[in-house]
């Protein structure tokens, strides 16, 4: 709880969102006295329209004609009939068209309509688009001439919106015509906002303006022209609406479109009351901006929205008001305090965004008890307003709004006609009396003058019975259905900007090739790891990975900065609300997956690298200290003393007990003694007498070589294969002192001969044997056949956990994105993302099938499923020590490290030496004693030189192995 609050506060401070204020209905907003009047009982004529919904309605005050056109009948058939009502006689009739002008528009419903009145040039009712009899949206525009009562198809210039139906718009009959100097006739403007084509629901920020000009009469039936112009709205994140209603309000030269109700959807659906929204949107066509208003009435489906045409006291209070009446809402989800059943009129101020819920007076009619009546709640009704009364007299005492048709909550189609009359007065409180109140006895009828009319202000907004539920879209019911679950409960829906909708999937799409390039750059079972500079694939992977990381962060940030609720505060530009954060399952799941992929996994990886570097750094430090110790000659014993001086039988320890040799001989330059092979001479330096506290010991043993089962092979060291001495000397160490002194020429020639031996080409190997490189340690290693392949390897346990966690979060975000694209994006976008994701994972499987990368869980699983078996480990060619853990010098079968001869040795004098196995002392622990009393000078000199030659040290190193050396030989006394 505390963590969520902290996260919310941090996000709020980062994206600088504004708080949303709660709204209550205004209880003192100025309004005119309102009364419902049922006009149906006073109508006459045999040409009355049938029950209809979504028809087109218009009024011409010059001819006093009300027109009803099109609509959908109770049988679901769209109509093309025209019905005219004379508002003086209240009689219905059909048009009487001039000869040859009897063409009518195709059947349609849910069209945009308005009045095109331009002096004597045009007196017409215009119909724009709609949905045709085949269910497809229409693009044509028609005008009905009130004077001559015929229809004319308007000539439209190329360009314009796609076919539209169920849009909001029209025009304000009070707006002034525009006289364009470039045109011969005055111009009227009509607006189309949002709407639906055959597959797409357009947002309310999609605004088109239709400019109409020309001349219309029976003599010029085809001289009306129109052209489209788009209003580019700059406000983002405006939702699409299905089943909304609206009106155009003129304020000077500025035209304002108010849209209320309907369901938010990007797909073409049949809305119902469950998905209805209550937020209103105000589209300013002059500023090309959209603002939202927090709603107070219950969410409505297809209400009627008309402007307040009352001009009382100059209209300063009323010209910015619209009346929202009728419509349907889900009474099982919302409580409107019985307002709609009592004829509730919701008043919206388009300048301030304030709402007022008003209960007007009803029509007492001819009921004996005087109970007032109100129009029944309905959807799909149509209405218009006029600045005077439409029926009855006197006409200048009020303004009327007339409502026709619709479908009630029971699915019954209606054809009744109601008037909402606004008397010329201003009220600001409940039951307030005004000049026309009279005796207080409520009067009705077409000639009602306002006697007994007053209003009541509702003090509460509509409340949700099941709060904070997600709204859904579904088919339109014939009755108001009960909620089946909490998901059907009312509550705001949320939307984000197109930037978030684009960046989030794009971040995942960019991350996919980054992963692919990273795996391609890794070694496979068919290749070796490259040790040079990183390939271009590595750089591509890093670049794309950083780009995906940045795009993902930007996508998350825009989701918080651009999230919008369908219930925001007053007339301000859209902003995120604190209540809108993490309120949807999509938002919570997305944030959790984002935190895992972009936060947890990188953090764990950094910690993993840090702890892996810790021990390595310590080892490196020890190695560095060892490398920086005082370097001695090849006979140094410093490191041996440090490593093995504590052993009981260590020769070094025994030598420490003796007094050190007072004089340390200068080391001489030596060549390798193993078969006279060419190699590096040992590095030498002066001997630091302060460091050397014991006599020099040159022989060595390897103390840390692991135990291995070894066998002789052609790859064994050639020096061990033939213990016999060669017939000729291979180095100067094989020459006696006397031979060197007898003839300097001989020594020079020997040096020349040895040089030729050292630099001559390699002799061909014996057939059936394996050649060995004696100048390196390759002879100690068993070569892998060139055609052998490596086996896929499992990563370390923690690395495996990181891999699984990373791919789990990535797959989760892909699934979440696909779900969001399925419900909120065009199908093509969903399909493209699905195909890219499928190609990515198929590519991963294909690469693992081919063993790339070698260290991969998937590669190991696929290899095991295919039945692949790992290659057996190569068998070492060198024999191990018979003791096992001791030094694996070749001692069996009479072999020794001396190629040409076996020097004599002395008997050990310390009992502790017997603790050493013979393999360590290389046979020195025997009791053979050479008697040298009768040696002559030449023989003694040769023995000394042979012994010195025997003590030459040759160090053989194995790649990636660290050899610890110690001298097992007892110091000579």
DSSP 243-254: S-EEEEEEETTE
Residue among 215, 238, 210, 209 nearest 226 (CA):
210
The pair of structure tokens assigned to 181 is 């100097």
Backbone angles phi, psi at 363, to 5 degrees: -105, 115
Phi, psi for 537 (deg, rounded to 5)? -65, -35
Burial of 604 per CB tally in 10 Å (0-12, 13-18, 19+): middle
Is there a contact between 322 and 49 (Cβ–Cβ < 8 Å)?
no
> What is the distance between the alpha carbons of residues 290 and 351, in angstroms, rounded to a whole number?
12
Q: Are 107 and 70 in contact (CB under 8 A)?
A: yes
> Roughly how many angstroms between the first and final C-alpha of the chain, as a whole number?
82
Exposure class string for 135-159: b at 16+ Cβ within 10 A, else e: eebbebbbbbbbbbbbbbebebeee
Q: Which residues contact 28 (CB under 8 A, 6 or more apart)?
A: 428, 429, 457
The answer to whether the CB of 81 falls within 8 A of the CB of 73 is: no
Q: Buried b vs exposed e over 339-363: b needs ≥16 C-beta within 10 Å?
A: bbebbbbbbbbbeebbbbbbbbbbb
| 604 upstream amide cis, omega within 30 of 0 | no
The confidence score (pLDDT) of residue 324 equals 95
Helices (H) and strands (E) in the chain, counts: 15, 37
Cβ distance 480 to 331 under 8 Å? yes
Task: Give dist(CA 672, CA 53) in Å, integer.
Answer: 109
User: In sequence order, what are the beta bridge partners of 151?
Assistant: 144
Q: What is the mean pLDDT of each run of 10 residues along the chain (973 residues)?
A: 39 34 70 94 93 96 95 94 95 94 94 91 94 93 95 93 93 81 80 90 92 92 93 87 92 90 83 86 91 86 93 76 93 89 93 92 77 93 94 91 94 95 92 90 90 92 66 38 36 64 87 88 68 72 89 84 52 42 75 87 86 55 46 43 44 44 45 41 40 44 50 43 46 54 52 49 48 46 49 84 89 89 79 91 88 84 78 50 45 49 52 44 45 68 77 61 58 47
In angstroms, the CA 808 to CA 824 distance is 24
Query: What tokens appear for 26 in the block?
Result: 């205004």
Is residue 334 within 8 A of residue 18, CB to CB? The reply is no
Beta carbons within 10 angstroms of residue 571's beta carbon? 19
Fold of the domain built from segment(s) 236-465:
Neuraminidase (2.120.10)
Distance, in Å, from the CA atom of 578 to the CA atom of 9, rounded to the nearest integer, reads 9
Residue 25 confidence (pLDDT): 77
- Give the Cα-Cα-Cα angle 66, 68, 73 (nearest 5 degrees): 155
Angle ∠(352,358,361) on CA atoms, nearest 5: 145
Q: How open is the CA angle 22-23-28, to the nearest 5 degrees? A: 150
Beta bridge partners of 458: 357
- SS3 state at 202: coil
Superfamily (CATH H level) for 54-232: Kelch-type beta propeller (2.120.10.80)
CA distances from 823 to 98, 815, 820, 834 (A): 52, 13, 5, 14
Residues 853 and 795: their CA atoms lie apart, in Å, by 11
**Using CB atoms within 10 A of its CB, is residue 504 exposed (0-12), middle (13-18) or buried (19+)?**
buried
pLDDT at 665: 45
* pLDDT confidence of residue 623: 47
Q: How far is CA 972 from CA 689, 889, 904, 937, in A?
A: 19, 23, 14, 21
Contact 640, 965 (CB under 8 A): yes
Tell me, what DSSP letter sits at residue 532?
S
Tokens matching residue 474: 């579904």
CB 563 within 8 A of CB 495: yes
In this prediction, residue 454 carries a pLDDT of 93
Q: Which one-letter DSSP state was computed for residue 290? A: E
Between CA 688 and CA 74 the distance in angstroms is 114
Of the CA atoms within 13 Å of residue 924, those in its CB half-sphere come to 22
Q: What is the pLDDT of residues 79-92, one digit of tens each?
A: 999 999 999 999 99
Pairing of strands 155-156, 168-170: unpaired
Topology alike, domains 54-232 and 236-465? yes
- For the chain, the domains span 54-232, 236-465, 494-608+791-866, 662-783+874-973
**Residue 366: what pLDDT?**
64
Q: How far is CA 204 from CA 292, 560, 562, 794, in A?
A: 11, 22, 17, 56
What is d(CA 816, CA 589) in angstroms, rounded to the nearest whole number? Answer: 8
> Going by DSSP bridges, is the β-strand pair 223-232/155-156 parallel, antiparallel, or unpaired?
parallel
Q: What pLDDT score does 207 carry?
A: 94
State pTM to two decimals.
0.52
């Amino acid at each position: 709880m505390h963590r969520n609050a902290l996260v919310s506060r941090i996000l709020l401070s980062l994206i600088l969102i504004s708080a949303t204020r709660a709204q209550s209905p205004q209880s003192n907003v100025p309004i005119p006295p309102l009364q419902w009047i049922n006009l149906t009982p006073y109508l006459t004529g045999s040409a009355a329209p049938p029950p209809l919904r979504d028809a087109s309605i218009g009024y011409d005050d010059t001819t006093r004609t009300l027109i009803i056109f099109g609509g959908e009948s109770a049988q679901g058939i769209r109509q093309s009939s025209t019905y005219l009502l004379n508002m003086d006689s209240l009689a219905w009739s059909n048009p009487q068209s001039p000869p040859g002008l009897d063409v009518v528009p195709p059947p349609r419903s849910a069209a945009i309509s308005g009045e095109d009145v331009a002096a004597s040039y045009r007196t017409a009712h215009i119909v724009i688009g709609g949905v045709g009899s085949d269910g497809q949206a229409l693009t044509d525009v028609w005008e009905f001439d009130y004077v001559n009562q015929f229809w004319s198809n308007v000539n439209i210039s190329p360009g314009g919106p796609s076919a539209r139906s169920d849009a909001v718009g029209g025009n304000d009959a009070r707006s002034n015509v525009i006289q364009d100097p470039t045109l011969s006739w005055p111009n009227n403007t009509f607006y189309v906002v949002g709407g639906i084509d055959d597959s797409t629901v357009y947002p309310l920020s999609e605004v088109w303006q239709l400019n109409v000009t020309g001349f219309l009469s029976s003599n010029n039936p085809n001289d009306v022209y129109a052209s489209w112009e788009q209003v580019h709205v700059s406000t983002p994140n405006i939702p699409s609406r299905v089943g909304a209603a609206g009106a155009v309000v003129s304020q000077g030269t500025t035209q304002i479109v108010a849209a209320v109700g309907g369901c938010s959807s990007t797909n073409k659906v049949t809305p119902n009351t469950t998905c209805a929204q209550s937020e209103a949107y105000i589209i300013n066509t002059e500023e090309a901006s959209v603002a939202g208003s927090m709603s107070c009435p219950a969410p409505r489906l297809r209400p009627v929205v008309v402007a307040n045409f009352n001009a009382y006291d100059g209209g300063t209070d009323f010209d910015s008001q619209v009346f929202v009446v009728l419509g349907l809402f889900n009474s099982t989800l919302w409580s409107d305090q019985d307002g709609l059943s009592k004829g509730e009129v919701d008043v919206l101020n388009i300048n301030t965004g304030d709402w007022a819920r008003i209960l007007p007076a009803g029509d007492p009619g001819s009921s004996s008890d005087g109970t007032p009546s109100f129009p029944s709640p309905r959807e799909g009704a149509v209405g218009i307003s006029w600045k005077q009364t439409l029926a009855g007299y006197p006409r200048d005492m009020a303004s009327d709004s007339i409502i026709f048709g619709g479908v009630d909550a029971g699915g019954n189609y209606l054809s009744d006609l109601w008037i909402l009359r606004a008397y010329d007065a201003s009220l600001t409180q409940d039951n307030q009396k005004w000049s026309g109140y009279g005796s207080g006895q409520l009067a009705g009828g077409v000639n009602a003058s306002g006697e007994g009319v007053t209003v009541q202000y509702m003090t509460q907004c509509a409340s949700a019975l099941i709060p904070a539920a997600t709204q859904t879209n579904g088919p339109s019911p014939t009755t108001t259905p009960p909620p089946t679950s909490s998901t059907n409960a009312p509550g705001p829906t949320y939307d984000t900007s197109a930037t978030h909708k684009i960046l989030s999937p794009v971040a995942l799409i960019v991350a996919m090739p980054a992963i692919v390039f990273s795996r391609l750059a890794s070694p496979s079972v068919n290749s070796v790891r490259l040790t040079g500079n990183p390939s271009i694939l590595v750089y591509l992977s890093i670049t794309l990975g950083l780009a995906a990381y940045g795009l993902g962060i930007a996508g998350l940030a825009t989701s918080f900065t651009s999230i919008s609720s369908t219930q925001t505060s007053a007339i301000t530009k859209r902003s995120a609300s604190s209540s809108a954060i993490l309120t949807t399952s999509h938002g919570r799941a997305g944030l959790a997956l984002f935190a895992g992929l972009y936060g947890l996994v990188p953090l764990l990886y950094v910690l993993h690298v840090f702890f892996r570097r810790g021990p390595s750094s310590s080892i490196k430090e020890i190695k560095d200290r060892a490398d920086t110790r005082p370097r001695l000659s090849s006979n140094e014993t410093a490191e041996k003393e440090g490593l093995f001086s504590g052993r009981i039988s260590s020769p070094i320890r025994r030598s420490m007990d003796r007094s050190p040799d007072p004089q340390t001989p200068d080391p001489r330059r030596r060549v390798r003694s193993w078969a006279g092979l060419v190699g590096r001479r040992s590095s030498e330096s002066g001997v630091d007498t302060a460091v050397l506290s014991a006599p020099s010991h040159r022989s060595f043993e390897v103390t840390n070589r692991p135990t291995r089962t070894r066998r002789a092979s052609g790859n064994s060291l050639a020096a061990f294969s033939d213990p016999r001495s060669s017939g000729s000397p291979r180095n100067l160490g094989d020459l006696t002192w006397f031979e060197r002194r007898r003839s300097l020429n001989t020594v020079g020639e020997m040096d020349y001969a040895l040089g030729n031996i050292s630099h001559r080409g390699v002799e061909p190997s014996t057939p059936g044997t394996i050649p060995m490189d004696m100048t390196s340690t390759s002879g100690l290693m068993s070569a892998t056949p060139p055609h052998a392949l490596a086996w896929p390897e499992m990563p370390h346990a923690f690395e495996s956990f990181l891999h699984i966690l990373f791919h789990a979060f990535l797959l989760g975000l892909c699934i979440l994105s696909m779900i969001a694209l399925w419900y909120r994006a065009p199908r093509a976008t969903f399909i493209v993302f699905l195909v890219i994701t499928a190609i990515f994972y198929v590519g991963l499987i294909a690469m693992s099938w081919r063993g790339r990368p070698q260290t991969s869980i998937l590669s190991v699983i696929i290899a095991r499923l295919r039945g692949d078996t790992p290659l057996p480990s190569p068998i070492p060619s060198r024999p191990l020590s018979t003791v096992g853990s001791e030094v694996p010098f070749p001692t069996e079968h009479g072999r020794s490290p001396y190629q040409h001869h076996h020097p004599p040795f002395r008997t050990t004098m310390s009992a502790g030496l017997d603790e050493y196995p013979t393999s360590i002392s290389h046979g020195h622990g025997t009791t053979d004693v050479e008697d040298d009393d009768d040696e002559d000078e030449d023989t003694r000199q040769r023995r000394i030189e042979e012994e010195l030659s025997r003590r030459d040290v040759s160090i053989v190193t194995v790649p990636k192995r660290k050899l610890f050396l110690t001298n097992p030989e007892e110091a000579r006394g």
